[in-house]
Structure 1
Amino acid sequence: MEKINNLVLKGDFEQANYKEQALSEYSNNPFIEALPAIFTEDDVLERLIVTPRITEQDKQSETNIRYHVLKRIKNFIQPLPIHFEVERKLSTLIRRGYLARNPLDKSFLERIRVLHELREDEEEAHRYIEERLNYIRSTADSVAIIGISGIGKTTAIERLLSMYPQVIKHQLYQGQFFNRTQIVWLKIDCPYDGSLATLCKSFFKAIDDLLGTHYLEKFGYFNRMTSTMLLYMTSLASLYGIGVLVIDEIQHLINSKNEQEEMLNFFVTLSNTVGIPTVLIGTSKAQLLFKGNFRQARRAASDGSIIWDRMAENSEEWEFFLETLWKMQCLKEHSDLTDELKKAFYDECQGITSVAVNLFILAQERVLFDEANINEKITPQVLRKTAKEDMKIIQPMLNAIRKNNLKAMYKYEDIMINLDDLMITHKKGTEYEGKIKDAMKERLNTLDYKRRDTIENLSVELAALGIFTALDAKDLRNLVTKAVEKYPVDIEYNQLKLDVIQQAMELNQKKLSKVVLKEKQVINLPLLALRKRALVKKKHPYDYLKQNNFIRDPISELF
């Protein structure tokens, strides 16, 4: 079998904790009641914002040390109005998708029964799956998020998904036995060759990685028909109550002319028939998919499309983004953000998030090792030289955007945005932006935020070390949280980091020792123990097992 090498985003596992619902339609549905309460804007702000800390001591460190410190800035995330729009869409997609898939409702079991019957006729079932399920209502919608490459779509959706537990184990609901495994969200990448078969195998592998199952081995072997794998995929999605299926990099479908329509058909079937909400994420190149078959594409994005455009130079969000980023300097002399610097900076990054962050880091690195720049100042000349020499590979694309050269932009489909008349332009509300800005400024000055900020950055840094093999992300975060809450908020960051690393090493060693000890212990299984006892008493093991009610008499069992 071919090897599937997709990296699976993993979230938390939780035991079901049912909550009272603010809306009556969400009540008496264990899949919805086990979710976190609907997030407020403050919740989203706190979970999204990441502003790496650079201390005064960091700025006075040796050049080679500061080179490493600058890499912290890569983790910078500035919440923008579009993040809140995506969160609202995601929140309603998941909950409304569960309305018609209440596991206590007869239609939920009916859907699973029909899918099981369809699996009996593997070769032909895909032809009439919609016909067999069309009488069962669906409340699932789907959304397409289309945006320029490097704008932050994937980072945002992954952080928003991680606000929800990924797997919820149910055992008892309202005093009744209710044994179910619920997968709240699953994110996979569309394969580079646009192959539907590879997408199915990625789906099986993602579930296997989460639950320790063997669906890839069982359903994904090489001679399986794609239509059959799709049937098993829809069956598993329904069985595990998947709240939302996120498929990234959908522009790769362009590489498979023959399967584009089949893939879009499949997304429609998942949403409209099986009832699984989908989020399709892609670069601007994905707009060509929607041009080709608008009716199908519209159904595959029934709750609309979010166009994630670059930030405009004179917009309030760009101004605030740049001001926040500019504070993260690790040079001995702080460079003030003048109008000339603002103009040069925008000109060289064109409002694209990842380009802006990388330009800011690379410009400081250039200053650090430039002997002629003894004052360590960021100047417009430094920004332009950095962009020209260190970011040479993306200059043709940036030039096309800068000059608004549509002909040149068609050569780089990933940067085309708002060229499709069928798409709705995303408009940002200045009033809403101002609200976010005020809330962020207020939060940045609170002790609570400073602690959260330290926890976030330190957790990321510890995980990046890759030396704590026995600790998962949750272990590290809990360790960091306890340490940060123990010390005063103004403790020197590097001192805190050293202490936490030491604690993590001790905990890691402790867990490793337990694993070794467990492996050394011989577990004597009950049946083996009874066999041993039978041999000591000189009895046949069969008779001894029967005597102890491990073997029943077949005649009495039958009648």
Structure 2
Amino acid sequence: MIEFRSIPAEYKPTGVRKYDGNAYIEALPHLENTKDEILDRIEYYPPEFTDADRRRGELVRIAELARIGSFIYPFAEYRRAATNTTINIREAYLSRNPFKVEGQRRRNMIATLKDLNDENAFRALAFKSSALGQLIMAISGGGKTTLASGVLAPYCCVIEHTEYMGRPFRCRQIPVIPLAVMHDASLLSFCVQFFETIDRILGNTHYAREAKALRTIAQMTLLIHKVATAVSLGLIFIDDVQHLRAARGTQAEMVLNLLSQVLEIAGVSLLLSATPALEPVIAQSVRNIRKLTSGGTSKFPVMRRNDLQWIALATALWRYQIVKHPGPLTKEILDAWHKCSGGNPAFTSMAFALAQRQEIGERETVDELSFQRVAETDMILLKPAINALLSGRTADLLKFDDLIPKSGLMELQDQLGWARDEAESGESEPEFEELGEEKQTSASKPNSNAASKGKKKPTFSTKGRSGSKTNPTKGGVMLPFVKPTF
């Protein structure tokens, strides 16, 4: 879990000429020199088990298996996606330089904008956004969220600006925030989640309270642009975008339209994470998807038995044996292990931990029989999904999410002591209708309590380390900016 912390701005040249003189970019964390440096930062190998660990009690050793859940292997596919993300955060600020006339003018115009549907207001902005959208697509357990969390960890902070090159510059900058599309794909829950996330990071309740007082979706989306500008937001990581396929009516299109506007008007880059289940939604909204993938698209393929990356993952995990009689990794074990997991990184790790759990206090060794037993017992509920992986058929993989019983995954993760997403068990949000603008039916009346029921997916913790609370309006901002009010 990554904590957002408040840090003073330290301006360092990036070596990129177009970034020179941009306080937002120069205050960001260090820009790596190579793609591999980013991978080195993402990977994590927990301490390996020792002989002393293997002599400990059975229940103690079973509890220690949770250590495997923190293992992060740096797959080669991560390199391009991680590089795109690192660059896209900076590109978002390129056209929003607070010390250029265009940047100041744009900031003022967004703060005083009254209606996003006003074409004249759009023309008046005369602003070309440099923000970029990026999509990472892989099956559940393919490493999408793991990658994003690792790449974005250094950017989970609030940067305190006070002075830049001898000029007064008072503002607070949030480089990145995490969000998730909930299971019902409600636009209301997504919008409220945005404001509550910003408030938690800054330690206040100002923006969520103001948003919940609004009566139309147009006002709420307009406020998103104003708040994103007020906190100098750089990038939004949005997980589980495939849930848009469950949206009712035009909700999916409305959410995608909002994301496109965030790119074009607020100038905030986006990092979207989805499973192949998003493809039907993509087919219906080509225009929006084109914008939302302007900064790159990455697909993490399913790993076959002879895939060198899967073998490398299995070999690295094999070092974490806490059974009393650890043995060598053989071809037979690899065959059984892949058949049990389908080559899915999450299932591969889970199968290994469950195999050891079964063998502790029994045979005290892991072999091909161990994985065969796990496949027919602990992971039996995942068998349809694993068969889909093993088949390699596109049609089966597109249905992969539907084949995974969520309750079964939760139970396995809880047994192993591994963290899981709260969003999996969250209640559905009611739909949000335009009050006074759209015809309402008994099935679509807005719920006054809807805004308070949404649950956020805790990709990152938003508890500050310093314990101090920050407020984006406290102390003023030495930039043309009007506090958003309605």
Same fold by TM (over 0.5)? yes
CA separation in 2, counterparts of 1:253 and 1:209?
A: 25
1:70 and 2:60 correspond: no
Is the CA contact 1:289–1:297 (under 8 Å) kept in the aligned structure 2? no
| CA-CA distance at 1:401 after TM superposition | 2.3
Aligned to 2:429: none
Aligned to 2:190: 199
Q: Secondary structure at the residue paired with 1:159? A: helix
CA separation in 2, counterparts of 1:79 and 1:258?
A: 38
Give CA deviations for 1:246-296 in whole Å, capped at 9, x if unaligned: 111111111214111121111111112321111111111112211112222
1:20 and 2:13 correspond: yes
Matched letter for residue 287 of structure 1:
E
Is the CA contact 1:409–1:415 (under 8 Å) kept in the aligned structure 2? no
Could you list the runs of 5+ residues in structure 1 that have no partner in the other structure?
Answer: 1-7, 417-459, 461-471, 476-510, 512-559
Aligned to 2:376: 388
| CA-CA distance at 1:191 after TM superposition | 2.3
Q: Secondary structure at the residue paired with 1:381? A: helix
Aligned to 1:210: 201
CA separation in 2, counterparts of 1:316 and 1:130?
A: 54
Aligned to 1:36: 29
Aligned to 1:364: 356
Which of 263, 266, 283 is equivalent to 1:291? 283
Is the CA contact 1:312–1:351 (under 8 Å) kept in the aligned structure 2? yes
Structure label with greater radius of gyration: 1
CA separation in 2, counterparts of 1:57 and 1:195?
A: 51
Is the CA contact 1:126–1:231 (under 8 Å) kept in the aligned structure 2? no
1:344 and 2:344 correspond: no
CA separation in 2, counterparts of 1:9 and 1:290?
A: 31
Is the CA contact 2:4–2:465 (under 8 Å) kept in the aligned structure 1? no
| CA-CA distance at 1:220 after TM superposition | 2.2
1:241 and 2:207 correspond: no
Structure 1 residues 255 and 102, CA, compared in 2 at 3 Å: closer, same or farther?
Answer: same
Q: Secondary structure at the residue paired with 2:338? A: helix
Aligned to 2:98: 103
Aligned to 2:41: 47
Which of 259, 262, 281 is equivalent to 1:270? 262
| CA-CA distance at 1:317 after TM superposition | 1.4
Matched letter for residue 11 of structure 2:
Y
Give CA deviations for 1:198-231 in whole Å, capped at 9, x if unaligned: 1111011011101123334433226521111100
Is the CA contact 1:47–1:163 (under 8 Å) kept in the aligned structure 2? no
Give CA deviations for 1:437-475 in whole Å, capped at 9, x if unaligned: xxxxxxxxxxxxxxxxxxxxxxx9xxxxxxxxxxx7868
Structure 1 residues 338 and 99, CA, compared in 2 at 3 Å: closer, same or farther?
Answer: same
Which of 153, 156, 159 is equivalent to 1:162? 153
Matched letter for residue 391 of structure 1:
M
Matched letter for residue 47 of structure 1:
R
Aligned to 2:475: none
CA separation in 1, counterparts of 2:18 and 2:226?
A: 26
| CA-CA distance at 1:109 after TM superposition | 2.1
| CA-CA distance at 1:129 after TM superposition | 7.9
Is the CA contact 2:163–2:170 (under 8 Å) kept in the aligned structure 1? yes
CA separation in 2, counterparts of 1:160 and 1:415?
A: 30
CA separation in 1, counterparts of 2:270 and 2:124?
A: 18
Q: Secondary structure at the residue paired with 1:180? A: strand
Matched letter for residue 333 of structure 1:
H
CA separation in 2, counterparts of 1:155 and 1:140?
A: 23
Q: Secondary structure at the residue paired with 1:279? A: strand
Aligned to 1:398: 386
Normalization by structure 1: what TM-score? 0.69
Which of 295, 306, 317 is equivalent to 2:309? 317
Matches within 5 A, 1:483-502: none
Structure 1 residues 414 and 243, CA, compared in 2 at 3 Å: closer, same or farther?
Answer: farther
CA separation in 2, counterparts of 1:368 and 1:137?
A: 61
Q: Secondary structure at the residue paired with 2:155? A: coil
Normalization by structure 2: what TM-score? 0.79
CA separation in 2, counterparts of 1:33 and 1:129?
A: 34
Matches within 5 A, 1:383-462: 383-405=371-393, 408-413=396-401
Is the CA contact 1:171–1:178 (under 8 Å) kept in the aligned structure 2? yes
Structure 1 residues 45 and 216, CA, compared in 2 at 3 Å: closer, same or farther?
Answer: same
CA separation in 1, counterparts of 2:321 and 2:14?
A: 45
Aligned to 1:141: 132
| CA-CA distance at 1:112 after TM superposition | 2.2
Is the CA contact 2:3–2:465 (under 8 Å) kept in the aligned structure 1? no
Q: How many residues align?
A: 407
CA separation in 1, counterparts of 2:403 and 2:208?
A: 39
Aligned to 1:183: 174
Aligned to 2:250: 258
Structure 1 residues 404 and 24, CA, compared in 2 at 3 Å: closer, same or farther?
Answer: closer
CA separation in 2, counterparts of 1:108 and 1:407?
A: 47
Aligned to 1:441: none
Matched letter for residue 373 of structure 2:
K
CA separation in 1, counterparts of 2:227 and 2:465?
A: 27
| CA-CA distance at 1:46 after TM superposition | 3.5
Structure 1 residues 143 and 130, CA, compared in 2 at 3 Å: closer, same or farther?
Answer: farther
Q: What is the identity percentage for the equivalent residue pairs of Structure 1 and Structure 2? A: 27
Matched letter for residue 145 of structure 1:
I
Q: Secondary structure at the residue paired with 2:237? A: strand
Give CA deviations for 1:232-259 in whole Å, capped at 9, x if unaligned: 0011112221111111111111121411
CA separation in 1, counterparts of 2:397 and 2:164?
A: 55
Matched letter for residue 327 of structure 1:
R
Q: Secondary structure at the residue paired with 1:81? A: coil
Larger helix percent? 1
1:227 and 2:222 correspond: no
| CA-CA distance at 1:117 after TM superposition | 2.3
| CA-CA distance at 1:88 after TM superposition | 0.5
| CA-CA distance at 1:9 after TM superposition | 6.0
CA separation in 2, counterparts of 1:319 and 1:473?
A: 39
Q: Secondary structure at the residue paired with 1:179? A: strand
Q: Secondary structure at the residue paired with 1:126? A: coil
Q: Secondary structure at the residue paired with 1:163? A: helix
| CA-CA distance at 1:82 after TM superposition | 1.9
Structure 1 residues 117 and 272, CA, compared in 2 at 3 Å: closer, same or farther?
Answer: same
Could you list the runs of 5+ residues in structure 2 that have no partner in the other structure?
Answer: 405-418, 420-462, 468-486
What is the RMSD computed on CA atoms of the aligned residues? 2.3
Is the CA contact 1:170–1:178 (under 8 Å) kept in the aligned structure 2? yes
Give CA deviations for 1:141-191 in whole Å, capped at 9, x if unaligned: 100111100112112201211122421000011111110101100111112
Structure 1 residues 117 and 130, CA, compared in 2 at 3 Å: closer, same or farther?
Answer: closer
Structure 1 moving runs of 4+ over 3 Å: 40-43, 124-130, 215-218, 404-416, 472-475
| CA-CA distance at 1:379 after TM superposition | 1.7
Is the CA contact 1:367–1:378 (under 8 Å) kept in the aligned structure 2? yes
Q: Secondary structure at the residue paired with 2:212? A: coil
